[in-house]
Amino acid sequence: MGITQKHTIALLPKQIAGKSGEYIVLDDPSDTTSAVQNTRKLVSENKVDLIIGSTPTPNSMAVVDIAAESLP
């Protein structure tokens, strides 16, 4: 799944509502520990505004609290 999803990023718009964006792709090899580490990095280091992924349900559930904590 990861390769297909990575290729999908190239199809996403570079601008939304007149604002440019950047996509950061990190691989979690369907591992919840990697998914959590990646999400913490995106939130704390990259200061992302939006997170798209992970597809596997265990990984999605593992990162939901981190995403919620980063909300203003």
Burial pattern 12-22, b for ≥16 Cβ within 10 A else e, equals eeeeeeeeeee
* Three-state SS annotation for 26-62: CCCCCCHHHHHHHHHHHHHCCCCCCCCCCCCHHHHHH
The residue count of the chain comes to: 72
* Of 6, 2, 5, residue with least CA distance to 31: 2
pTM: 0.72
Instruction: Tell whether the model's pLDDT for residue 1 goes beyond 70.
Output: no
pLDDT digits (tens, 9 = 90+) for 19-35: 999 999 999 888 889 99
Residue 46: which pLDDT band, with cuts at 50, 70 and 90?
very high
